[in-house]
Each structure stands twice: as structure tokens, then as C-alpha cells.
Amino acid sequence: LIPSINQNEIFYMKAVNFAKVNSAHLILMNFESPNWFNEYSPSKRDENEWNHWMLTSRHCSAILSNASEGTKYAKQFYTETPSDCFFEDINPAINQMVADTILEKKYKKQKRILMFTRFAMAEHKGASNICDIISDAMNGYTLVFMIGLGSVPNDIKEEITNKAALHNVTIHFRHTLSDRQKFKELAISELILFPSFFEGYGYPPVEAVYCGTPCIAFDLPVLRETCEDNLHYVPIGDWAAFRDKIKYVLNSSASTKCPEHLLNIASFKNYSQKLNNLIAKIDSMDLPYEAELISPNYERNAVACSGTGHFPKGLTSVVKRLLPKSVYKRLENAYHRSK
């Protein structure tokens, strides 16, 4: 199951029931868990946003993360899994076919700096501090923003453009590029900027190293796991150090050679083989759940009959949305009386 941060519990219940009806194993793709996100992000999120991921985990054969760093936090968060459920991580491949097609063309480097960010739900993506890293070191360069989600607010766009003009920097905003367009930008740029405070994996640095383009990023453990020492790291949140590192890299004509370790990560063939191995392991297991289908009634019974003296973690908001207000109020009153 590929989840997202939305509150449509019916989607998750139907996914679980589909697996049960078809006697199928269920794997939850864990992109991030709230304990991990909130440890690194300057903007915190309510753990309840992951309620439905938790609901799904109770019926899974495996919790799959994109990195071992993700698995470490997943084991701490998903504490209600079936006894046979196991945690696994597989680094996803890049679009290697498109990347290789672009690299074969051997495009010449241009005076371009490529920055990956977004401006929607983006405090952890570093978008608020862009002006802090624009300096005379970028004089004569084009700073390209690759944006995959949302638009750029007009006031922020004006602020960035005005700051860039002071240093003779041209600004381009590029939205929702195809992989072919993206890899061409990676190939022709002299430098990649990735000022993210939190990543569940972090594709752009991996793709930058694969393309041989230097990349500056905050020193996140998940990036150390995938890219090892092949990025230019700066302390998390140190914008002065980030700005200084840009000057250093542009003046050093640094280049990056893709190491064997990352070639293995980027390989689609390797990725598909690891997925095959995962499926084979799961296929040899017994189903981890009871055949009974789940429903809003199932969730209500789990609360009312838990016998724990409190609502089980993560279920309160689900029950509140599923029950009629009058019924929920009676249940809530009964709960408080029992205390």
C-alpha cells in the first residue's frame, strides 16, 4: 500500500479488506514516520496525520522503508504490528534509462546552479532561507529552481528576484519537469543545492552524484547512508556555512565521480531483484491477520472493548470522524465516567 498524508480512512480500510478478501499479504510503504520527521524538521507535524498508516500496519506482513535510517524510526513508531511482521528497507532506483540517455550526450556544463525545493508545505525544504545563500559568488550564474509541487508565492518570488539582481544572478523557476528535462538540468549545471532539513530518502543528491555534478546538502544521516562522502555537507540549518560552501565549490571546479556503492543503489536491475527477494520471503509466510474484515464498527469495538482505560493510540480522531456526534459524545462520556 502506497500511503499519503490524507485523512480518508475509508481508502486504507478498503485496502486492508481487499488483501483479506484475496488472502494476500500487505506491505506498507513507509516513506517517513512522525518521530523521524519531527526530530529534524523545524516545523513539527501532528502524529495523528499518520493514524491511517498505523491502522494499516496492524494488518501487514512487512513495513518497507527507503533507507535503513527510515527503518530505525519505523521500528520505534509502528508498535502494533502482527508478531510475524518484519521491517525491511530497499533504496529505490533512479530512472537509470533516462539518466544514461542524457549522460551519453555529454552536454557541456553551463553557468547554472540548480536548486531543488518547494514552497507548499515547505518549511522543512529550506525555501524560507533562499535569500540567505545568494551572494556575489553566484555573479553571472543562472539560479534555476526545480519545483515539483505547488507554485511560488508572488511576495517570495519578488524577494528572491530582487536579492538575485543585487548580485547579477538570473532566476528561473521550472515546474513539474519530466525526468528527461530534469536529468538534462542535472547534467548541464555546475552545482546542485539541496537545503532540506528532512528527507525520507532524498532523490536529488543521489541523482546529482550519478550525473557527476557536485551537490551541497545539510548533513542528514539518510544522505550519508546513500551518498556517503560524495556530497558537500554543511551543518543542518547553518545558512552561512551553506553560502560559504557554494563559494568554495564554484571556485574549486569540483567534479563528482559516481562510486560503485551508488551505482548499485541507482541500478533499476538491482532494485527489482531486491523487490523480488522481498516478495519471495513474504510469499513463504503465513498471513499475519484474521480473516474478519475491518470497518468503522471494527474500529469502534476496538476502542469500546479495549479494556485499557484509555483510547488506543492513534484511534481517537478516527473514531470521532466515523461516529455520529451524538454517539461519539455518549462514548466519550462513558469513557470519562470509567476513569
Q: What is the pTM of this model?
A: 0.82
Crossing angle for the helix pair 296-304 and 325-338, nearest 10 degrees?
Answer: 20
> Which residue blocks in 189-259 are alpha helix, DSSP H?
203-211, 221-227, 239-252
Q: Where are the domains of the chain?
A: 1-93+267-292, 96-266, 295-339
CA 177 to chain CA centroid, nearest Å: 19
- CATH assignment of 1-93+267-292? 3.40.1380
Report the distance separating Cα 88 and Cα 238, nearest Å: 33
* Tens-level pLDDT at each residue, the chain (339 residues): 999 877 778 889 889 999 988 899 999 999 999 999 999 988 898 998 999 999 999 999 999 999 999 999 999 999 999 999 999 999 999 999 999 999 999 999 999 999 998 777 667 887 888 999 999 999 999 999 998 777 888 888 999 999 999 999 999 999 888 999 999 999 999 999 999 999 999 999 999 999 999 999 999 999 999 999 999 999 999 999 999 999 999 998 766 778 888 899 999 999 999 999 999 999 999 988 676 777 754 444 443 333 344 444 455 665 566 555 655 666 666 555 544
Cell of 24: 494476500
- Residue 30 dihedral angles phi and psi, to the nearest 5°: -95, 95
DSSP for 254-284, written as a single string: ---PPPHHHHHHH-HHHHHHHHHHHHHHHHT
Q: Which of 288, 289, 297 is nearest to 9 (CA)?
A: 297
Do 1-93+267-292 and 96-266 show the same overall fold?
Answer: no
Q: State which CATH number among 3.10.20.30, 3.40.930.10, 3.40.50.2000, 3.40.50.2300 fits the domain covering 96-266.
A: 3.40.50.2000
Report the distance separating Cα 324 and Cα 121, nearest Å: 31
DSSP 105: T
